[in-house]
Amino acid sequence: MTIINELQLSKELIKFPSVTPKDAGAIKFLSKKLKKLGFNCKILEFKDRGSEPIQNLYARIGKKRPNLCYAGHTDVVPPGNMKDWTTDPFKPLVKKNYLIGRGANDMKSSIACFVAAVSRFLQKNQKFNGSISFLITGDEEGYAINGTKKVVDYLRKRREKIDFCIVGEPTNPNKLGEMIKIGRRGSLSGNIEISGTQGHIAYPHLSNNPINTLVAICKKLKEIKLDRGNKNFQPSNLEFTSINVNNKAHNVIPARARAKFNIRYNNLHTSSSLKKKVSSIVKKMSKKNKCNHKIDYMANGDAFLTKPGKTIFMAKKIIKKITKINPKLSTTGGTSDARFIKRISPCLEFGLVNKTMHRIDESVALSDLRKLTKIYNAILVEYFK
């Protein structure tokens, strides 16, 4: 049985410039690596009208249950200005005991650590009682249309059972071992368009300025206290991300004004209940000011919580033993593909330190790579006891 080195595999994965939605060969390469370990691999390509085709990978070794799954993504965000980097972001460099490269933190190195952990586990446990699987997408950093969401649908149709899933996103704010994510807030984005009547700035009584109505709507929506949070989640929050009129003239009252917003919400709401609340306010204030309105929504997944149980407490104990830090169970942060996987399996998220993700000179400590591989290996050993 081949033993895989986490640092070497991290470097190999980082070399693929797999900026969403481009795969650049990363999925195929990972599939070949897993096949050598004995995994049955299936590359799944999905596409929708108006969106780029995306390659995904589902790999499994073993036919028995329980099936412990690792989920992650090989796609990365754009590197930005290449000249700002210490090294070419797709030519990984080890400097002062840190691996630098796009995806070093989020999250190619985490994938490498789990593959390395599996290779070590299989060397000593070739006839273990259960299955190990990988669910890897190339569409986590993008619109998530043709990625994990569709792989989950595929697995449900095939009645493929996953008993527990570890999502390898970088979860730790400052030090490895600080935080396990056991849930995530939901995310709802929206575009509001208010239509008034265009006219001359000197004769406002002959026009109906949509900006006035839009500003009043924004003020009203920001004043609403959605909730106070609960023992597992922080309070829900609405933020406006842009207000746009596209009016280049100083003497013209515009016909339309637009605003974009996002709500990060806890499990006291659903996307449907929030849409109803927002739409009601927009409709009421538009009618009052004799304006027309239009709202488009994009729901990115409702809030969810994995109730702490045997597997989560086992992982917590292992992380504490290896890192000497007692990890906090948290639901903070952005969204992840766990929002799709939770439909078929309970999840926890645990990976690297997230301080440099999406930044110039994204990096990971070599010591963290070794520790994370140890943690993943210990979880595999304990899970299949």
SS3 156: helix
Q: Give the list of residues 6+ apart from residue 359 with CB closer than 8 angstroms, or none.
A: none
Residue 122 to residue 3: CA distance in whole angstroms: 9
163 tagged catalytic: no
- Catalytic, out of 106, 139, 140, 302: 140
Contact by Cβ (8 Å): 345, 246: no
Q: Is-catalytic flag, 140? A: yes
The Cα-based distances of 102 to 5, 105, 140, 368, 374 in angstroms read: 19, 8, 15, 17, 23
Complete DSSP assignment for 333-348: SS--THHHHTTTS-EE
Strand 363-365 and strand 179-181: the pairing is unpaired
* SS3 category, 300: coil
Q: Are 71 and 344 in contact (CB under 8 A)?
A: no
Selected catalytic residue, list 6, 23, 75, 362: 75
Residue 72, CA distances (Å) to 34, 48, 127 in order: 14, 22, 25
The alpha helices in the chain, defined as continuous H runs, are 6-14, 26-36, 108-124, 148-157, 210-223, 271-288, 310-323, 338-341, 366-383
CA-to-CA distance for 37 and 118, rounded, in angstroms?
Answer: 9
**Burial category of 255 from C-beta neighbours within 10 Å (exposed 0-12, middle 13-18, buried 19 and up):** middle
The tokens describing 285, both together, are 């204030």
Structure tokens belonging to residue 215: 């500003």
Q: Which residues are catalytic?
A: 75, 140
